Structure 1
Amino acid sequence: MLDNSGMRYDMATNFDTAILDHIEKYDEKHQVASLFGKFKTDVIGGGRSSNTLPDITEKQLIDYNERCKKMGIHFNYLLNPMCLGNRDMLPVEHKKIIEFLKKLESYGIEWVTVNSPYLCEIIKKQFPKIHVTVGQYAVIQTIQQARQWVDLGADELTLSHNVNRDFDNLRNYLKVFKDTDIRMRVIANNGCLHDCPFSLNHAACVSHSSTPDGTATNCCIDYSIVNCYYRKLTKPTHLIASDWIRPEDVHYYKELCDETGNHNLVIKLVERSKPTAFLINLLDAFLHESYDGSLTELLNWLDERNSGSQTHIDASGYIEAVKNGELDLHSINYYIKTLQLPKIKIDNTKLNGFLEHFVHNYHCKEKICWLESYDPDERSDKYCYYCHDWAKKVITCEDQKEFDKWLKSVEKLKENMVSSRIFCLDKEKGSK
């Protein structure tokens, strides 16, 4: 809950105790409300591929949860795949799910995140002491969806990304759930494409790559993320149109809470696959509501400046698949190069005033984003050029040769994916 101490934050963790040390030392106003994370794999799965996550023991989880409690912070265990692959409907698998929930209860876990209505109801019926957060993959975009999740027993709702800048819509959520105990969350730094066409496919992909026996758990070829980065870097307006929240713009959300009289709004900070230096830097920026560097350093972005991100990727599955002739070596090399993004700077200091347009004049539902990097000869009323104009002012490519080299790799990878060469088919049509 927001009070005079400032906005509250739910923050990702990689289970490094240095994060807790940092919070104890520097979070003077106790703004961190909860930390969230999970095992590398479990029977239910989650919202990230297992090969990007740290491997922790039961003791580490129990100790981390206990220390969070002592600090007055909730620990939220993630049970948040978009799809359970019908395991919840198979008797043997259902029993495993119930047994795992009993384990979490025995560990002292008091909060979990789900995207399954059935799992939500199971938890509220069989484990009534556990609070339920509804995750991003539930795609809550309307008041009616939110109300129905509350009827299922949810205690906290993560709102869809496209609510972040729609202040009239967010205002309605706060008004409707005023005088209740329902908390709402918006995610600040996922950096997803606005109204992304890949989002549901991506969520399903990572969900099925997060269980011990999941499809491609150790060898996930992430088609969606390849296309996500390709679109953002070839048409940089996407980087501005993405529904992020800057540290400097947190005050707009605090003011909205004051206006409605509902302070049950929390900002969620990702990413749990990141190293500790990234997470601490991210938290500090939001605690101070200020950041002087590139906005990419705070987003779920892959470059060396956000502290060696994705250092936990396990490549053993890819290596084995190449050895077995199931994946093409050249394509996997392009895939690796694609995830080594060129240096792009979004000058955060030049973005002051950017959000005002959305606070007072949100029309993203009514117009098409002009995403091309060039200016049209004549501007049309059916397009919105706002993010395009800002992109020209704040985004720079710091090494054009590096960018051109990256672009060559990703285009070869995309060709090999759609021609199926990456899976050792149609080799004549693919790119080497």
Structure 2
Amino acid sequence: MGFNNYFGPGRTNQNPYLKSPDNKVPMKLYVPHIGHFEGLEELLAGSDNIYAVYMAGSPEYVGTGRTNLSAPKLEEIAQQTEYAHSKGVKMEIVLNSSCMGGQHLTPEGYRAIDWYFDKLNSIGIDSITVADPYLVEMLAKDYDMDVVVSVLSFVDTPQKAEFYEQLGATTIVVDPAVNRHFDKLEAIRDTVSCKLKLLVNEACLYQCPFRYAHFNFFSHANGPGPKPNVLDDYYYYKCLSLRIKDPQQIIKSPWIRPEDLKEYKHITDTFKIGGRTHFVNWILNNVEAYANERYDGNLMDLLDSIKDLKDTFYIPNRELDGAIEQWKKCDKVCHKCGYCKRLAEKVIYTYSGSGEEIRKIPLGSIGDRT
């Protein structure tokens, strides 16, 4: 079947906004997909609240800023796109390498990427997420797909947003580092006319010192060869160890709780759930929480980048009700404020014991770990 045959009668042009009561925020949820057809079937069968799914493309052309659990070939992407469209769900391909070693600027590299973009365009992909400004402009000039600026472009000011819009961006995924800087979010919203998307559950360290180096490493490890032969991921394990030593860093991380989406409705109606390296049931749990704007369990269940700490810490999500009011007015000078540290001591529990004797112990009861 040719690539141009994937807009069959099953595809709809409806706008599947979430149907929610008047007190909920109408929204578009962009949901991670691990990349194989069976996973997509399970994902779309599990929820009616998915506006779009996104997955990695082939690392042979452009890498991504995350580990790839699956690298679908063009025929597989075409099949999955047709299926998503038949369900009224959009398909987005993520090619957000933060570093390509300059290969995209060579004649050979350009021709390979141009060929791949052309095939994705013919398949009917709705949008492509990229991080490199060159690829933003290339996509905007030569293709019909929406151009999404990745979080790995680190758009955290109105000036950066304006530059990317001038290059042709259709949507900008704002740097999560400013998720709680409402003055910056509002300034970005006032400056550009393109769409904005917020990543709600990434949970990286606030102002992480490893962020640029870590995503450059991923870009080479998950992109065209030669691939680095590394033994482990220094940045990831260092990140985990810092949180174990100083759990208040979990609270400082700029995630957005499901209950707090309403605070962002004047910024955007489009939210992205991170986690395309997770199992479908984990993804669907997030979809349900954010669609319902409520989660009564452990906040750690929803957070992407620190999933390995889920059995180390327990944070009753509803005990964080109201914290957004402090973060909305906070000037982020932590050593003077201390709010997140006090909140961590109040709401973070650790586990003790084993088997049926496991107990949750309040962090504040075992002293300051810093």
TM-score, normalization: structure 1?
A: 0.72
2:352 aligned residue (396, 399, 414): 399
For residues 35-54 of structure 1, the aligned pairs below 5 Å read: 35-39=53-57, 41-50=59-68, 53-54=69-70
1:171 matches 2:186: yes
Partner of 1:197: 209
Partner of 2:95: 79
The 8 Å contact of residues 343 and 399 in structure 1, kept in 2 or not, is answered as no
Q: Any unmatched runs of 5+ in structure 1?
A: 258-263, 304-338, 371-382, 403-432
Tell me the secondary structure at the aligned position of residue 41 of structure 1: coil
1:142 matches 2:157: yes
Partner of 2:363: none
Tell me the secondary structure at the aligned position of residue 397 of structure 1: strand
Tell me the secondary structure at the aligned position of residue 237 of structure 2: helix
**1:26–1:37: structure 2 CA closer, same or farther, 3 Å change rule?**
closer
Structure possessing the higher radius of gyration over alpha carbons: 1
- Residue 394 of structure 1 deviates from its aligned partner by 1.0
For residues 5-404 of structure 1, the aligned pairs below 5 Å read: 5=20, 6-15=26-35, 17=38, 19-20=40-41, 23=44, 26-27=47-48, 31-39=49-57, 41-50=59-68, 53-127=69-143, 129-177=144-192, 180=193, 182-216=194-228, 219=230, 221-254=232-265, 256-257=266-267, 264-301=268-305, 303=307, 342-359=311-328, 361-364=329-332, 367=333, 369-370=334-335, 383-399=336-352
AA partner of residue 337 (structure 2):
C
Q: Flag as ranges the 4+ runs of structure 1 deviating above 6 A.
A: 1-4
Distance 1:20 1:142 in 2: 38
**1:301–1:201: structure 2 CA closer, same or farther, 3 Å change rule?**
closer
Distance 1:113 1:46 in 2: 10
The 8 Å contact of residues 49 and 220 in structure 1, kept in 2 or not, is answered as no
**1:19–1:394: structure 2 CA closer, same or farther, 3 Å change rule?**
farther
Distance 2:271 2:310 in 1: 27
C-alpha deviations, 1:188-207, integer Å up to 9, x for none? Answer: 11100001111111111101
The 8 Å contact of residues 141 and 168 in structure 2, kept in 1 or not, is answered as no
- Residue 23 of structure 1 deviates from its aligned partner by 4.1
AA partner of residue 358 (structure 1):
W
Distance 1:67 1:3 in 2: 20
The 8 Å contact of residues 134 and 154 in structure 1, kept in 2 or not, is answered as yes
Distance 1:65 1:106 in 2: 11
AA partner of residue 319 (structure 2):
K
Tell me the secondary structure at the aligned position of residue 109 of structure 1: coil
**1:340–1:22: structure 2 CA closer, same or farther, 3 Å change rule?**
closer
Q: Any unmatched runs of 5+ in structure 2?
A: 1-14, 21-25, 356-370
- Residue 385 of structure 1 deviates from its aligned partner by 0.3
Distance 2:46 2:306 in 1: 28
Aligned alpha-carbon RMSD (Å): 2.5
The 8 Å contact of residues 33 and 39 in structure 2, kept in 1 or not, is answered as no
Distance 1:25 1:203 in 2: 31
Distance 1:176 1:212 in 2: 36
Distance 2:216 2:73 in 1: 26
Count of residue correspondences: 335
Distance 1:400 1:236 in 2: 20
